[in-house]
Amino acid sequence: MVELLQSGRNFPIILDLSLIQTIDYYTGIVFEVVTNTENNSTSIGRGGRYDKLLGLYHPQQENIPGIGFVLLLDNLYQVLSASQQLPQTTPSAHWLVVAETEQAYTKAFAYSAKLRNSVHLVRVEMDLGGYNPEASRKYARDRNIGQIAWIKANADPVIESL
């Protein structure tokens, strides 16, 4: 995890394994990921081993061992923002999926999921606003979106390349 967080970043990250956690469900090692920037220590993640946590929620109180962690996104955002390492622009979507009617929303969501689950990274935006087709085309052109999928409730999608 530390290597993943450190990759391409210029702020130090420390993995602290010496914590003593007072939360009862932790049963083993507990860790925290901390970064030190400008004389300021900020926790950007934490986690640990818990062998009895799932038993609290399991119908037969069966304990299943596990380990988990959480990234503290607000803190991570602040560290990245202060070090000016956040992207300055949002990447363009590859597809705009337009539900032509409210009855086509379900089909549009399913088509968007199909596009996103392809082998390659595909960014998809959805237009559920009921705009006229020319407004949707203008939006796609302004955002450098290359493909529009027009979705009707009872027909195959119509694909338009821009």
For the chain, domain boundaries: 2-82, 95-161
Is the pLDDT reported for residue 7 higher than 60?
A: no
The contacts found for 30-36 with CB under 8 angstroms, 24 or more apart, are: 31/69, 33/1, 33/2, 33/5, 35/11, 35/79, 36/11, 36/12
Mean pLDDT confidence for 60-89: 83
Mean pLDDT, the chain, integer: 82
Mean pLDDT confidence for 21-31: 72
pLDDT at 58: 80
**CATH of 95-161 among 3.90.1150.10, 1.10.3720.10, 3.40.50.2300, 3.40.50.800:** 3.40.50.800
Task: Measure the N-to-C terminal CA separation of the chain; round to a whole number of Å.
Answer: 40
Nearest Cα residue to 92 out of 52, 114, 125: 125
With tokens 């539900």, the residue in question is 99
Q: What percent of the chain has pLDDT over 70?
A: 82
* Global confidence as pTM: 0.54
- 106 band by pLDDT with thresholds 50, 70 and 90: very high
- 161 band by pLDDT with thresholds 50, 70 and 90: very high
Is the pLDDT reported for residue 83 higher than 70?
A: yes
